[in-house]
A and B are shown apart, each in its own frame.
Chain A
Amino acid sequence: MKRAHRRTHFAIWAILGPVIFWVLALAILNRPDAPVNDALPQVLIEEPN
């Protein structure tokens, strides 16, 4: 890669890396205790039309 591209490449990771780790840490440490159920409740599935 050209020197300018190598500099840009490094700058991107120097900024992106800490942002990724910061959000990742926040997301993992603040996970809700009860999992959110993404399936339909049984009562809705069984309800006749």
Chain B
Amino acid sequence: MSHDYKTVQWTPYKKRFDLWMLGGIALYLAGFIAVSYTTQPAGHSFAPIQALLRATGTLAFLLLTFILCIGPLARMTDRFKPFLYNRRHLGVTTFLIALIHAALVILWYHGFSETNALVSIFISNPRYDSLAGFPFEILGFVALIIMFLMAATSHDFWNANLGPGLWKALHMGVYLAYGLLVIHIALGAIQFNKSAIYVALLAGSAITVVSLHIVTGIASLRPSDRTANEGWLKVAAVDEMEDARAKIVRPVSGEAIAVFRDGDKVSAVSNVCRHQGGPLGEGKIVDGCITCPWHGFQYRMEDGQSPPPFTEKIATYATRIVEGVVYVNPEPNAPGTPQSPSQIGASA
């Protein structure tokens, strides 16, 4: 929660995650360079900088692929929720690796030109009408600029000052960056590298990312097929509700509702976190508070308010239990309005 700003909001868990991440990155780079040298055909010239720029390029793309898969996968299985919580650090790291890749490319392929190296990217290859000779580096450069904007505004300072709506819209630019990078590789590395591994990695990445987002996108837009009881939407049988977890109900109009069970109590709040619009219903109850899976923002079940000293508020909803079935009133209360939870066993 954003009571004050810190450069990086470290927790022991995040530190451990970052150490694993850095270890994995070092291992990948060392492994890629080692394999590049051992599989190099005899007599073929190969500079160390070329191995490094390919290693950083492939790593940045694979990391971006993984980052884009985290959201949809976290909706399918809880195993990916920890990555959701640490996605921001992963994203900034991906940008830094992409930046190293770009710097090496500029140094190696444009640094010896009489023209300014940055200008050279845009004018050295004018073959826009050719597929195999297309100036693919420009696509990578534009994607890098988008990633820079996202990394630079990734801190909560920018989220608070731009507002969650604009911040989210800006950060959806990552999808455009991904599309540009797929085309950057398809018209670049794929054209002059005959290895089937590159084609398989690129096609596999594109198929996985696009299909995951389309499938989860359709599911998240479809209103819940709920039986209404005097206008109240059926949530689930009490027995089907896992303790400290939620069922998400999507009314025909309005925002989705997260209906939580905490022991023998059932409460409902808006599914949209005030921080960055994270799906609260995919989080869980920690220390008696509903906890967003994205960045750990917390809200009290009874009134939708963040515990002091924090001030965020979300809408609450009335619930009731009839014959062992939980229902929710789709009409929201004003954010922060106290709402008595339904007691399991009281009305059954």
Contacts and interface: CB of A to CB of B under 8 A. Distances in A.
B182 A20 contact: yes
A41 to B, nearest CB: 9
B210 A20 contact: yes
Contacts, number: 106
A45 B46 CA distance: 12
Chain A's interface size range is: 20 to 34
Given A16-B175, A23-B183, A28 B221 contact: no
A10 B172 CA distance: 11
B24 interface: no
Q: Name A's interface SS.
A: helix
B274 to A, nearest CB: 11
B194 interface: yes
Nearest to B207: A21
Contact of A9 (B190, B199, B217, B272): B217
A49 interface: no
B194 to A, nearest CB: 5
Contact of A6 (B131, B165, B186, B217): B217
Contacts of B194: 35
B126 interface: no
B132 A20 contact: no
Interface of B: 44-47, 50, 131-132, 165, 168-169, 172, 175-176, 178-179, 182-183, 186-187, 190-194, 199, 202-203, 206, 210, 213-214, 217-218, 220-221, 254-256, 272, 277-279
Interface string A1-21: 111011111101110110111
Contact of A17 (B186, B187, B199, B214): B214
B159 to A, nearest CB: 14
B255 A2 contact: yes
A48 interface: no
Nearest to A13: B213
23 contacts: A1-B272, A2-B165, A2-B277, A3-B255, A10-B217, A13-B175, A14-B217, A16-B178, A20-B183, A20-B210, A21-B210, A24-B182, A24-B183, A24-B203, A24-B206, A26-B131, A27-B131, A28-B199, A28-B203, A32-B132, A32-B192, A40-B45, A42-B45
